[in-house]
Chains A and B, each alone.
Chain A
Amino acid sequence: MSLEDRKRELERAQKIIDDVMGMARDAGAEEVAARYGSASFVSLKQRDGEIETLQSSKSRGLSVSLFVDGRYSSNSTSFLEHDALSRFVAESLEMTRRLAPDPNRRLPEPELYGELPDVDLEMFDERGDGDMDARKGRIAALEDAARAGEHVISATAEMTTQDSMSLRVHSNGFRGHNESTTFFLGASVTVRDDDGRRPEDYCWVGARHFADLPPPPEIGAEATRRATQRRGASKAPSARMTLVVENRIASRLLGSLLAPLGGSALQQGRSCFEGMLGEKLGSDLLDVVDDPLIPRGLASRLYDGDGLPATKRSVLTKGVLDRYFINVYYGRKLEMAPTSGSASNLLLTPGERSMDELVGGVERGVLVTSFLGGNANPATGDFSFGVGGFLIEGGQLTQPVSEMNIADNHTELWKRLSAVGNDPYPFSAWRLPTLVFDDVQFSGS
């Protein structure tokens, strides 16, 4: 989008928000929070030498939180024409007035808004990724590289380019605006196995600036390399062994550790980490920081969902829990200061060694390169996930494994975090390195 278009979009957003706030206040709402967001995207998918899907559109939407007679609702619409908005606000207010009051549902106290950080997050790539012909050339190069493997049955390359903006305004004084670009490139590849199975794998990368992405042929070749390595996978015997989790999928494990740290889980009494602030949940290697202010970060932001200024916060220091994820509403219920209800960019302090070196130090274990299904119980910490990867014997990867599960408990597992790689994965919001855990239960044959 040109600078001129972006300026016009912001004016449009401001006008719609002014309009809707006026309607809500006139109809009796004491407080209003409104957020207008719009996004334009282009996406292309190519398979076997031909473009398979071409999509492009622009989407706009408005969400409005209403606070009326001590009652609350949150409402969204894509139908932004004046009369439709007016009906939408009137009906939403009518609905809200029928609910029970909730003294904790108010906008944040204005003093909490403070000053937004004075940081250039570099979220918008002015140069972009070129025109449609350039994109078609790029995705063709990506797919050619992915299709080049000996056993490949089918390769699909995909790209999405998106421009987004949003404007958030609260009736008690907050105003925040952001603009960002996102570029995704990826390939998924299916290969033929000797026994009729058709294993698949993928490589997907994302960045705020197009120039930060790796060259398309590298992405395609990586997807094919990964899928080809899955050939001949089988189950290993059930055992307690070392678990090595590859960097790009470590977020699955960390995400399920963080779920019980949310304000809702704590307030509703369904968190295995209740009352654990300042307690040791993991080994000294478990150092996690939530940093919303990283330039070009996929989850960077200047303010959180409540309009509070974003700040870098430690989550765990040497295994000790430093914070919960508390938004303003649950903060009031729990009588705790808000610390943001959701994680932004998460960083785990890297170690000294590469993944290969870490694997080299494992006598018997599994390098897990994919998770499949599974779930965790935030009330007890128990979890069980399907896994695929490679058996490690005497420091060597000896065979691909599939159809296995791991089972453990989050209150115990992280104390057995015994090594951390030097390789934080750069193409996602959570930049995690390879993680090594001792003595984890695997089930297989």
Chain B
Amino acid sequence: MRALDRKLFRDIRRLWAQSLAIAAVLSVGVMIMVMAFGTQRSLTETRDTFYDRARFADIWSQAARAPKTLVEEIAAIPGVARVEPRISQYAVMDLPDMDDPAMAQILSIPASGEPAMNALIVKEGRLPGFGRRDEVVVNEAFALAHDYGPGDALSVTLNGQKRDVRIVGVVLSPEFIYTIGPGSIMPDDERFGILWMAEDVLAAAFNLSGAFNSVTLSVTRGTDLAPVKDALETLLKPYGGTGPYDREQQISNAFLDGELEQLDVMARIVPPIFLVVSAFLVNMVLGRLIQLEREQIGLLKALGYSTGEIAAHYLKLSLGIGALGVALGWLMGLIASQAMASVYVEYFHFPYLVFVQRPSVYVIGAAAGLIAALAGALMAVRRVVGLSPAVAMSPPAPTRFRRGLFDRLIRVFRPEQPTMMIMRAIGRWPLRAALTSFGISISAAIIVAGLFMFDSFDELLDVAFVQANRQDAILEFALERPEEVLDAIEDLPGILVAEGSLSIPARLHHGHYTRTIGIEAARPDNDLVRVFDGDDRVEVAPEHGIVLAKRLAGHLDVGVGDMVEIEFLQEGDTRYRVPVTGTVAQFFGLSAYMDLETASRLLGQAPRVTLSNVVIDDAQRADLFEAVKASPAISGITYMSEVREGFDETIAESAGITLTIYTFMAALIAIGVVYNSARIQLSERARELASLRILGFTRGEVSYILLGELFILTLVAIPVGLVMGYGMAAAMVESFKSDLYALPLIVTDTTYWRAAGVVAGATVVSALIVRRRIDRMDLVAVMKTRE
């Protein structure tokens, strides 16, 4: 090994603590990059393969009742490759292992025995046999939640008729990679399942013989979807079509896309922070090392080493640190990827999750890590290697302190000499102080940005479950019912209050902006479900006009007072102009709200409802369930308390882990920055501090001079970091916003205090480690060394 390389290794060994601190910060950046990109790629690839093999449809549409003769016409739409009519219904299930009724989405399997699109992957058992009217297959998540398998029985209420059915198979479907019931915000596989059964059974039960109420289409490659959707909509409109949608709006796919998007954001935003901080640390440490080795650099030059060779030597040192960080990052990335994979397996139901460890991801991660280390080194190296050897070998002139403005400012406070020294040090190297402070503030920002989500969830839960939704349960009707059905609901055992609401699929137009959404129409005196404007005031849809979710208003580019046009999808092309009378904060979905009377008038019908929000007397819960299971009208029931529990559980599960991870990452940065700063200060000022000790200063006083500066910088850094964290949180809220949901931007004081606490703690810990070195300083040896 070359002598210069030997020096390199010994330098790294001597600087191991600092090198490790930098490598640790760097490794987090590499880890997140490897993990997020790796997971995203694996997930994308798995999804694409699954969609391809299972022939995932391109376009969906529901209708009330369309004749099968329409299928030929649909197939004739240019670009359509395949059409499959089917029956899709929601129904209440009575499960042997559960008192509460559960909800099912039932889909038909064509007489041919297998769907042509959205193929079912049989995990266990088989598909229903020809002519076997009592056979069903269920989605795997539901089967797992109940420990069901082939042979198990359950009953389902089809249009009021209770039927006993037998599970013959457990399947996966590309349509239900992420299964979420109507009205839910979290998957609840115990209470919501997908059932597939023979088409003729469903047709008979729902009076849909020779007809369909759902259709899926696939198109030939490269077909523009918009004209196909338009044509399909026109064809289905007379039959109660609710408007076609494509993969983008398909719920399961939309959630999957959202997740992929988040991974992408994570991989793009988080690693750079860590990489930049580590570049800064490398710069700081190497810069100091090079300064200390000024004479050695001069010597090497005198010996005939070229500037390039010397620069390469120090760059290699930084690469050594970089390589250490990359290796750590790879290892952690591998572990984290596997952890992520297990999370995804729980929430996303793929037939296989091929967790490809792509070399390219590791290469990119390594390149980013090494480049960061090199970038930091380059700046440090450039400063010194340019010196002429004679200059490099003569000791650097004493640092010039000036009586500048800053100095005069400090003097006003008449500090004692040690404080004066601290202040002068900050004033002398303002850039270094600023960068150090900035590094520390990033650590505070990371905690705020990582933990604000729980504050947001709290707010969201409070709004969703305490203020907005005060019903105990939602009863869904299979079909629209006259409003009078509510009287019958109130007569059910245990129902204290029942209010109705009508969901109307509609398209809103404003200029060239359009959006297909659901309008919720309700009576103005309804009190169980409320919506709020931005200032927590209840917003009620007026007699004339419409209230929009804020994000919807944004999409349509309308404000209060503007006119929008409503086109009801189940009706003709008529557009009704109505004023926007208010906008409301809404975290889930995109809705608009109207007065039931007004909506009914526009629709030209007597007021009807599609669901009822109810308050339940808990004592009669069991009786109510029996009645619900037996009721032909009710196709589903959702309990708010269970939705909330599911949400709470999910959050509680991740809260602990998230808290730990972000605290760890932030502490790493804070310690990396503070420890390295302190060590550098110590090496620069060892002589000065030793002189003070000899003059009679105590260890504490001397430590104060060294560490006081860092405490001051930390003190400045914390508020800056909190503000930065808020900014990052705002950016995250913005980037996570989708049609499915939006997070409110809430950061509580607890989160701020926590962030401040972690950073302060990390600073103190680093200071204590360095303090030990100050205490152990060998005064005589320090004084003897030449500067």
Do A and B form a real pair? no
